[in-house]
Amino acid sequence: MKWTYLLFNKPYGVLTQFSDASANPRPTLKEYVPVPDVYPVGRLDRDSEGLLLLTNHGTLQHRLSDPQFGHPRTYWVQVEGTPEAAALESLRQGVTIQGYQTRPVQVQTLTVAPDLPLREPPIRVRQSIPTTWIKMTLTEGRNRQVRRMTASVGLPTLRLVRVAIAHLTLEGLAPGQWRTLTEAEIKSLHQLLNLKSR
């Protein structure tokens, strides 16, 4: 089998799956990625945006998705309020959410808002409450983990964009666009995951 690797910039409101059997179907990957037999590595919630890796390489998919392998995922997170040092330190040390202690994460405040396209629909804005962008790098990806972590320290997430998976980034991809990985990116990914290239 020939392995296929794609990077996709998932827009807000799109499901991380290729079909939706609900009574009121929502946009899915099928409307953006016309490549058969590839599947997303991990998930992004419907209300999250950003980098998604799709592949038909099952072992790679498993190693990137399983928390035991601990590969980094980086997010830009717009939160409500101004983070205090203690809140950021709590995130760095790991917090307890739904009875689970998260792994420590890398967190920093972004002094300049990232250059992102406006979201449709736009986030809610309250004039009396400032918002702040922070950068978070996790080595696990539990369901809605970033949102639950920021909420646990009093910083509700307003917008969440995944900008990197290991060394792969969103660079050059507008929302809704996809591309195949380069040979160099594939080689680096295989080395990272201790996989044999072919």
Q: Catalytic residue positions?
A: 45
- Which 3-state string (H, E, C) describes the chain? CCCCEEEEEECCCCCCCCCCCCCCCCCCHHHCCCCCCCEECCCCCCCCEEEEEEECCHHHHHHHHCHHHCCCEEEEEEEECCCCHHHHHHHHHCCEECCEECCCCEEEECCCCCCCCCCCCCCCCCCCCCEEEEEEEECCCCCCHHHHHHHHCCCCEEEEEEEEECCEECCCCCCCCEEECCHHHHHHHHHHCCCCCC
